[in-house]
């Protein structure tokens, strides 16, 4: 099995991060390397990382730059990018290894809303799966890839939003970038806070604006104004 390096961007989310690091610690692969890149430069985040044996890096609060920083110091043959509020499936390492054994350069997990769920999740999850097949799976879906393929594709763009778009396109030019059957659970707190349809509408409008060429920095400012 390739040695996996797990890279987690964080920004003032220590309680969720602790839950995720605990899950990673319980996985059977003792050679797992975990790197947390903290955009808040918060000592509390550093203490959580120390408690669970993760490497803590302080960074500027820009997710794309945080991810690139983590990838630059990673030593694993394969990179696995997670968000701090993800909840893992039972055996993610075997699922990723199977994808590699079948010749994939990388892949992503099936999107599933975590608890507490609401009925719109039943409509949104298959729509997200369809979008991922023909478009771009986003960073909250546990993107994984061989390290050399990551850098050959140019790595994450140093942007606050849509930092994975060019990366996924570059990976698909190199080979198969595949979905795995296991779901990764995504915290629905922002959908509950903002309203399920409003949150989805804002996200889709941002994606359309990005496709039209609006800069990620402008979109990030718009995103904050609409979701805070």
Domain borders along the chain are 4-189
pLDDT (0 to 100) of residue 28 = 86
Cis-peptide, bond into residue 116, ω within 30° of zero? yes
Place of tokens 């892949």: 107
Evaluate if residue 227 carries a pLDDT over 70.
no
Q: Mind listing the pLDDT tens digit for each residue in 126-176?
A: 999 999 988 999 999 999 999 999 999 999 999 999 999 999 999 999 999
Interatomic CA distance for residues 29 and 55, integer angstroms? 17
- Which helix (H) or strand (E) element contains residue 57? strand 55-58
Q: How many CA within 13 A on the CB side of residue 228?
A: 6
* β-sheet bridge partners, residue 186: 113
Contact 69, 37 (CB under 8 A): yes
Superfamily of domain 4-189: Spore Coat Polysaccharide Biosynthesis Protein SpsA; Chain A (3.90.550.10)
Residue with tokens 């990620």: 216
pLDDT in tens, 2-60: 699 999 999 999 999 999 999 999 998 778 999 999 999 999 999 999 999 999 999 99
Nearest to 186 by CA among 64, 81, 83, 39: 83
């Amino acid at each position: 099995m390739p040695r996996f390096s797990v890279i987690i961007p964080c920004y003032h989310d220590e309680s969720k991060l602790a839950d995720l690091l605990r899950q990673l610690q319980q996985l059977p692969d003792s050679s797992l390397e975990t790197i947390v890149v903290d955009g808040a430069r918060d000592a509390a985040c550093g203490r959580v990382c120390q408690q669970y044996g993760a490497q803590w890096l302080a960074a500027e609060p820009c997710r794309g730059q945080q991810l690139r920083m983590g990838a630059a110091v990673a030593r694993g043959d394969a990179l696995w990018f997670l968000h701090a509020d993800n909840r893992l499936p039972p055996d993610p390492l075997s699922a990723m290894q199977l994808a590699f054994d079948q010749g994939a350069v990388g892949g992503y997990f099936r999107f599933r809303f975590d608890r507490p769920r609401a009925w719109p999740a039943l409509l949104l999850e298959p729509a997200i799966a369809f979008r991922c097949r023909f478009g771009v799976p986003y960073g909250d879906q546990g993107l994984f890839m061989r390290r050399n393929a990551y850098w050959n594709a140019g790595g994450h763009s140093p942007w606050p939003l849509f930092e994975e778009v060019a990366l996924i396109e570059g990976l698909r030019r190199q080979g198969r970038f595949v979905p795995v059957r296991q779901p990764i659970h995504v915290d629905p707190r922002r959908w509950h806070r903002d309203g399920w349809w409003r949150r989805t509408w804002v996200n889709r409008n941002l994606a359309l604006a990005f496709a039209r060429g609006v800069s990620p920095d402008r979109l990030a400012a718009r995103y904050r104004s609409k979701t805070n």
